[in-house]
Amino acid sequence: MIKFTTGNILKDKSEALVNTVNCVGVMGKGLALQFKKAFPDNFNAYKKACDKKLVATGNMFVTKQEDMYDTKWIINFPTKKHWRGSSNIEYIENGLVDLVKIIKKNNINSIAIPPLGSGLGGLDWSIVKEKIMTALATLENVDITVYEPSRSPSVSEMPIRTKKPNMTKGRALLLKLLEFYHKKEYECTKIDIQKLAYFLQEAGQPLKLNYEANKYGPYAKNLNNVLHIIDGHFIEGYGDGVAKSEISVKTSAIEEASNFLEENKNIEAKKRLKKVEKLIDGYETPLSMEVLATVHWVVNHEGLDKDNVDGITDFIQHWNEHKASIKPTYIHKALNRLKEYAWI
């Protein structure tokens, strides 16, 4: 029997859950990232298999996840060859053939399937839906729940079972900076955290973040890896990288970060933290942080003279359509702030 629904597939009670993956070992966004957090052992096995070139389109990669309460089959369904690429309907067709074999081989009585390749993969759901119905119609005595495309579940509904990471100097400083930002009672988004970490690194803290010019100013893609690791342990709200979220620091993590910095006598690191706090005090809004970081980037990384006010303003307003809407007075104010505290 096939039924269609929407919602959070990770809360489904079926014996088997299907996860959409690529063939290069990356679960970086969307449903795959949700599965990575919910079933870390499955991800580790999948990553090792990808490293050995054992994961390919048309073939399921299956793991069995067991604990004292439950047993789940996780069926990793390759819908892409590379995470940067798009899905192909042929990958879905061939994969469904193998999926039927897996269901029969393991005597699976119930299975939940996401909208294969129709989210980040870009395929037309109406076509994929028909392919699923045709391929699975031959199965007898199997309860099949197909989840149709919908928004990501709320961040609070995404289970996290990853191992708690160690506290490090960089993580402790970022957490303390987030605590400072939150004291002004503004919501903290992924974009805000990008700017906070940017200034922390520019203050001299070696965070190994690879910043580039992006739509909202300096952006480091590898910071997302850090946020994924600490999500659910030190912070809450990062989610799957797709859903809009407000990120906050867990109370226990603030205490742990403070103790770490005190015990390790990180005098220079704490000076850098204070330097950033002094700069952003009164600028704890998304737009203020964006303008402040963008102006700093233009002077320090694009080579414009800090006294060339018109040149800096023109550069930013021609950055993209979004930045064209930023008022010159905001740019001038940020420029003066950066000069006042000797950041440029």
Instruction: Say if 163 falls within a structural domain.
Output: no
Domain co-membership, 90 together with 118? yes
Q: Which residue has the tokens 């590898």?
A: 222
Confidence of residue 282 (pLDDT cuts 50, 70, 90): confident
333 shares its domain with 198: yes
- Residues 213-237: what's their mean pLDDT? 92
Q: How confident is residue 77, by pLDDT bands cut at 50, 70 and 90?
A: very high
The CA angle 6-100-71, to the nearest 5 degrees, is 65
Give the pLDDT band (50/70/90) at residue 265.
confident
Spatial distance between the Cα atoms of 164 and 153, rounded to a whole number of angstroms: 23
Per-residue pLDDT at 95: 97
Shared domain for 44 and 182, answered yes or no, is no
pLDDT at 196 over 60: yes
Name the catalytic one among 36, 80, 195, 323: 80
Task: For residue 150, give the CATH number of its domain.
Answer: 3.40.220.10
Q: Report CA Rg, the chain.
A: 23
Amino acid 217 reads G
User: Is the pTM higher than 0.95?
Assistant: no
Give the 3-state secondary structure of residue 111: strand
Q: Is the pLDDT score of 157 beyond 70? A: no
Choosing from 122, 137, 157, the residue where a domain stops is 157
What pLDDT, on a 0 to 100 scale, did the predictor assign at position 180?
92
Residue 242: predicted pLDDT = 57
Residue 180 and residue 88 share a domain: no
**Quick one: 204 and 75 in the same domain?**
no
Q: Is 80 a catalytic residue?
A: yes
Domain shared by 180 and 215, yes or no: yes
115 shares its domain with 247: no
Identify the domain containing residue 69 by its residue range.
2-157
In terms of Cα–Cα distance, which of 329, 264, 272, 261 is closest to 295?
329
Spatial strand order of the sheet with 61-66 comes to 2-5, 143-147, 110-113, 16-21, 71-78, 61-66
Q: How many CB atoms lie within 10 A of CB 131?
A: 17
Say whether pLDDT at 68 is over 70.
Answer: no
Domain final position from 157, 178, 213: 157
Q: How many domains is the chain built from? A: 2
Same domain, yes or no, for 130 and 187?
no
310 is a domain residue: yes
Are 321 and 208 part of one and the same domain?
yes
